Amino acid sequence: MQLLSLILSLLILTACSTHQLKTLSSESVSSYGKDIKLDVSGENAEIVDKLKRYIQASLLTAGFNLVTDENATQLDVAISAFDPGNAALRLTVGFGAGRGSLVYNAKYTKNGKLLVDYDGAERFTGLEFAPGTQYEAFRNLGGEETSTLILLEEASKHIVEQATIDGK
């Protein structure tokens, strides 16, 4: 019985995101100025638009300015895969079945210089418990809309965090 409890605890506490920082400037992105020009791309226009809105809100909250100026720091986000998952499978089978996912790359550049190159993959199984995130008990049992919302919220948070990391 203790072994079963341990296994269930590990499943609940496992990381819901995978991140790989491929390039990081020796200075934070914000040290190059607070003006950011944002471009989000991907095949699903609805998800591209929603993620762009979440990133914009996160950038504004973090104290950045959204501009169209070509001389500003450029943030390019490319969504390579999105799947909201299947709530019925998450609730009935569990163990990763019906998992939602969002895979993307975010690059911050300034005048052609690569400041940050970041690969992110958000995952949603419905069992996540992660303090400081949007994962909450029972909210995680929602369907496609809930899964999509949580995936986008987490991705925008992780993308904007990269702008404040000091590479020293």
Q: What is the pLDDT of residue 18?
A: 60
pTM of the model: 0.77
What pLDDT score does 2 carry?
54
Give the pLDDT confidence of 9-52 residue by residue, as tens digits.
444 434 455 666 566 666 788 888 999 999 999 999 999 999 99
Q: What pLDDT is stored for residue 10 in this prediction?
A: 41
Cα–Cα dist 82/46, whole Å: 11
**Which of 59, 64, 55 shows the shortest CA–CA distance to 31?**
64
* 166 domain-assigned: no
pLDDT score of 100 more than 50: yes
Residue 150 counted as domain residue:
yes
Q: What is the span of the domain harbouring residue 50?
A: 15-161
Top pLDDT among 11 and 112 is at 112
Q: Check residue 141 and give its pLDDT.
A: 59
Q: 128 in a domain, yes or no?
A: yes
Residue 124 domain-assigned (yes or no): yes
> Does the residue 107 lie in any domain?
yes
pLDDT of residue 8: 44
Contact partners, residue 130, CB within 8 Å, separation at least 6:
15, 16
Report the CATH number that the domain containing residue 67 is assigned in CATH. 3.30.160
Phi-psi region of 126 (alpha: psi -120 to 50; beta: other; left: phi over 0): left
Specify if 4 maps to a domain. Answer: no
- Provide the domain count of the chain: 1
Q: Which stretch of 6-10, 15-19, 72-76, 94-98 has the lowest confidence by average pLDDT?
A: 6-10
Q: Taking residues 100-116, report their average pLDDT.
A: 92
Q: Is residue 85 part of a domain?
A: yes
User: pLDDT tens across 132-150, in order?
Assistant: 455 555 555 566 777 788 8
User: Is 10 part of a structural domain of the chain?
Assistant: no
